[in-house]
Amino acid sequence: MDLQTANTAITDLKKKLDQYNYEYHVLDKPSVPDAEYDQLMKELINLEEKYPEFKTADSPTQRVGGEVLDMFRKVQHEKPMLSLGNAFNEADLRDFDRKIRQAVGDDFSYVCELKIDGLAVSLRYVDGLFTLGATRGDGTTGEDISINLKTIRSIPLRIKEPFSIEVRGEAFMPKSSFEALNRVKEENGEEPFANPRNAAAGSLRQLDPRIAASRNLDIFLYGVGEIGQTGVKAHSEWLDLLDRMGFKTNQERKKCANIEEVLHFVEGWIEKRPHLPYEIDGIVIKVDSLQQQEQLGATAKSPRWAIAYKFPAEEVVTKLIDIDLNVGRTGVVTPTALLEPVKVAGTTVQRASLHNEDLIREKDIRIGDYVVVKKAGDIIPEVVQALPERRTGEEKEFFMPSQCPECQSDLVRIEEEVALRCINPKCPAQIREGLIHFVSRNAMNIDGLGEKVVSQLFSEKLIGDVADLYRLTREQLLDLERMGEKSVQNLLLAIEQSKANSFERLLFGLGIRHVGAKAAKTLAQSFLHMDRLALATREELTAINEIGEKMADSIATFFEQEEAVELLDELKQYGVNMEYKGPMPVSPEETDSIFAGKTVVLTGKLEQLSRNEAKERIEALGGKVSGSVSKKTHIVIAGEEAGSKLTKAQDLGIDIWDEEKLIEVLNNIEV
């Protein structure tokens, strides 16, 4: 084959494959069998290998390729990606409509779109060719995740018009992909993703594009940045133009002449939401006219011409089959509702916490009842109430046992506590839960040691305390079910890497009663080494701010035990770090940062920072992060789905920031 013939053949194959890909992933109307598509792809790969001079960046063969990255580089958005204001009820939407009318009069219309629950991204095309894909970041600066976005087959690598354009969309994980991914994670003993949104975000931030490709992500485009003269005068026209250019937009959109039509659209989707193959968490309402959008303008963080209506937490009815009992690492016995499987907010729920016996009595929940279940924050299953009107007479009242369900020791109720507790230190359930706590994310953070793997190791008597984790061998792990060579290698590496963790992680992981992650860090910063903390008196401990008598007594009692001393000696022998490696706290006198001496509360879901990251950075700048809002609170950082804490802050007139402002402030402070 000569060069001209090869070039023609490659060009024809690319056109065919692009068309078939568009039909399958955008239109959802495949015109050829998968086998034919695969055969054409194989032909193209072979030709490009023989004639690499004709391989181009927009070739279908380039969707998964390139080296594994060390990190993502920062990129600037050509036009800021603003966040949207929120509406939670009809009154909020009518207030939004009133403000629009005051500004532009009565001659306008809205466009309503489904609010996809995923990760906002920006795609940049130059002369029609995909050149860059980035996360939203702080709205001005994002991360270059082009290598992962290329793996989403509904994103065209070349659009049908040679425009230079920046478009915005929401990358998401379909429900079917989410369920399949979590099945694999559970089989591997790994922590499943809480929801499709977290799964999509985690997939797109993988440094290895092959992992992103395996997650079967998708995207809907919903907006446009800057572009030259096109004659487009309305947002609805933009969406139609995106369709013609080969982008995938959500077709469940509607132009509404007035707020009444908007409310009807919203109400309809509250009912239809569970039947979609992807998650949505609301409806986005936009003024359609681009000229009126420009007239309305924007605040520093959000446009005045658009708002996001957030759905209330989805509630469903199912049957409570039984109540199970779980023994935690501190011996607390917690009742858990076993439910007939039911879909709530996109995932199947079979268990929900009932907290304690007093709550069961207060809500009059009985075994056999039909109950209302919801997910708090669309994440944690919760039994809201029983439906006594549906009782048949066969329901049974629940009574907590007098003995531990694991070791049969007598349960006790400590003064001023509502929970029953097993106080047997050799209770196997407490030992197992303590091991699970030790390897958890906020403690030693040993990747691959999920609850199932730890339980398996414990039941096989390979581990009995945390030091045993550092004695595990390749041969022992290979003998376990579902443990292959690669999994074992990764797990042993993660265990080895955990030895270098800073002192506060180990201290928290030991599970000393009353010592949470925050107290562990305070203690680590005060004593700097485990040996110094072990020798501290109760008086020295209570002299530290935020360490009370109860916690001090618990710490001193722990280090007085011979078993605790022996355990720490073993961990030292295995090379586990005992020193504090983190930054020292900054006093208000030592810094002029905006957080110095201020009390800050974090509430809702943060996109760019984890709660711990935000907390650590604020505390490093002299701030104090609290879990509750009061008159002494100075700043509330409100993420997505912020609830009662945000409401209380508004009532008290406290300064409220969104995540974008937090990141902006943090980025502008020299530490």
| Lowest-pLDDT range of 195-209, 284-298, 318-332, 469-483 | 195-209
pLDDT of residue 46: 86
pTM, to two decimals: 0.52
pLDDT of residue 670: 46
* Whole-angstrom distance, CA of residue 65 vs CA of residue 247: 22
Share of the chain above pLDDT 90, in %: 46
| Lowest-pLDDT range of 176-190, 290-304, 501-515, 633-647 | 176-190
CATH code of residue 557: 1.10.150.20
Contact partners, residue 152, CB within 8 Å, separation at least 6: 171, 217, 218, 219
Crossing angle between the packed helical segments 259-272 and 90-104, to the nearest 10 degrees: 150
Please report which confidence band the pLDDT of residue 69 belongs to, taking 50, 70 and 90 as the band edges. Answer: low
Total domain count, the chain = 5
Q: Is residue 339 part of a domain?
A: yes
Residue-wise DSSP of 456-472: HHHHTTS-SSGGGGGG-
Domain of residue 325, residue span: 315-421
| pLDDT for residue 467 is more than 80 | yes
My answer on whether 368 and 516 are in the same domain is no
My answer on whether 298 and 326 are in the same domain is no
CATH code of residue 36: 1.10.287.610
Q: Is residue 288 part of a domain?
A: yes
For residue 656, with 0-12 CB atoms within 10 Å meaning exposed, 13-18 middle and 19 or more buried, which class applies? middle
My answer on whether 293 and 216 are in the same domain is yes
Q: Is residue 583 part of a domain?
A: no
Name the nearest CA neighbour of 253 among 276, 222, 277, 230. Answer: 222
CATH code of residue 124: 3.30.470.30
My answer on whether 468 and 560 are in the same domain is yes
My answer on whether 253 and 338 are in the same domain is no
Q: Is residue 74 part of a domain?
A: no
Last residue of a domain, one of 404, 421, 438: 421
My answer on whether 108 and 234 are in the same domain is yes
My answer on whether 299 and 324 are in the same domain is no
pLDDT of residue 187: 67
Q: Is residue 286 part of a domain?
A: yes
Q: Is the model more confident about 438 or about 347?
A: 438
636-653: average pLDDT: 83
* Whole-angstrom distance, CA of residue 57 vs CA of residue 42: 17
| pLDDT for residue 92 is more than 70 | yes
Q: What's the token pair of residue 122?
A: 């920006």
Q: Is the model more confident about 580 or about 210?
A: 580
My answer on whether 435 and 410 are in the same domain is no
* Whole-angstrom distance, CA of residue 188 vs CA of residue 533: 37
pLDDT of residue 636: 92
Q: Is residue 180 part of a domain?
A: yes
| Lowest-pLDDT range of 340-344, 507-511, 664-668 | 664-668
pLDDT of residue 653: 85
Please report which confidence band the pLDDT of residue 437 belongs to, taking 50, 70 and 90 as the band edges. Answer: very high
The amino acid at residue 601 is V
* Per-residue pLDDT tens digits for 565-620: 999 999 999 999 999 998 776 555 555 678 888 899 998 888 778 787 788 888 87
pLDDT of residue 442: 83
pLDDT of residue 589: 53
Q: What's the token pair of residue 607?
A: 């996109």
* Whole-angstrom distance, CA of residue 140 vs CA of residue 132: 15
Q: Is the model more confident about 425 or about 510?
A: 510
* Cα atoms found within 13 Å of the Cα of residue 409, Cβ hemisphere only: 18
Please report which confidence band the pLDDT of residue 298 belongs to, taking 50, 70 and 90 as the band edges. Answer: confident
The chain-wide mean pLDDT, for the chain, equals: 87
Helix (H, G, I), strand (E, B) or coil at 179: helix
Last residue of a domain, one of 518, 548, 573: 573
My answer on whether 57 and 201 are in the same domain is no
Contact partners, residue 246, CB within 8 Å, separation at least 6: 22, 26, 156, 159, 160
Give alpha helix (H) positions in 341-498: 357-363, 428-439, 451-459, 474-478, 485-498
* Whole-angstrom distance, CA of residue 429 vs CA of residue 467: 18
* Whole-angstrom distance, CA of residue 384 vs CA of residue 372: 5
Residue 184 φ then ψ, to 5°: -65, -45
Q: Is residue 262 part of a domain?
A: yes
Task: Point out the catalytic residue in the list 115, 375, 598, 615.
Answer: 115
* Whole-angstrom distance, CA of residue 636 vs CA of residue 582: 25
Residue-wise DSSP of 42-102: HHHHHHHHH-GGG--TTSGGGSS-SPPPSSPPEEE-SS-----EEE-SHHHHHHHHHHHHH
| Lowest-pLDDT range of 23-37, 385-399, 453-467, 647-661 | 23-37
Overall residue count recorded for the chain in this entry: 671
Helix (H, G, I), strand (E, B) or coil at 109: coil
Tell the residue number behind the tokens 């270059």, with chain if given: 144
Q: Is residue 168 part of a domain?
A: yes
* Cα atoms found within 13 Å of the Cα of residue 312, Cβ hemisphere only: 8
Contact partners, residue 355, CB within 8 Å, separation at least 6: 334, 335
Contact 467, 438 (CB under 8 A): no
432-461: average pLDDT: 91
Name the nearest CA neighbour of 165 among 219, 121, 123, 137. Answer: 123
pLDDT of residue 345: 65
| pLDDT for residue 27 is more than 90 | no
Please report which confidence band the pLDDT of residue 671 belongs to, taking 50, 70 and 90 as the band edges. Answer: very low
Contact partners, residue 160, CB within 8 Å, separation at least 6: 128, 244, 245, 246
Listed in order, strand segments (DSSP E) in 297-425 are: 306-310, 315-327, 333-344, 347-353, 370-376, 380-386, 411-412, 421-422
Last residue of a domain, one of 544, 573, 602: 573
My answer on whether 402 and 459 are in the same domain is no
544-570: average pLDDT: 90
Other beta carbons within 10 angstroms of residue 640's beta carbon come to 19
Q: What's the token pair of residue 551?
A: 């916690």
The amino acid at residue 649 is A
My answer on whether 225 and 346 are in the same domain is no
Name the nearest CA neighbour of 329 among 513, 192, 190. Answer: 513
Helix (H, G, I), strand (E, B) or coil at 405: coil
CATH code of residue 637: 3.40.50.10190
Rg of the Cα atoms in the chain: 28
Helix (H, G, I), strand (E, B) or coil at 324: strand
DSSP 265: H
* Whole-angstrom distance, CA of residue 233 vs CA of residue 240: 12
Q: Is the model more confident about 220 or about 548?
A: 220
For this structure, is 160 an active site residue? no
pLDDT of residue 282: 92
My answer on whether 294 and 149 are in the same domain is yes
Please report which confidence band the pLDDT of residue 336 belongs to, taking 50, 70 and 90 as the band edges. Answer: very high
Sheet holding 635-638, edge to edge: 624-626, 599-603, 635-638, 655-657
For the chain, counts of helices (H) and of strands (E):
24, 22
pLDDT of residue 587: 56
Q: Is the model more confident about 90 or about 611?
A: 90
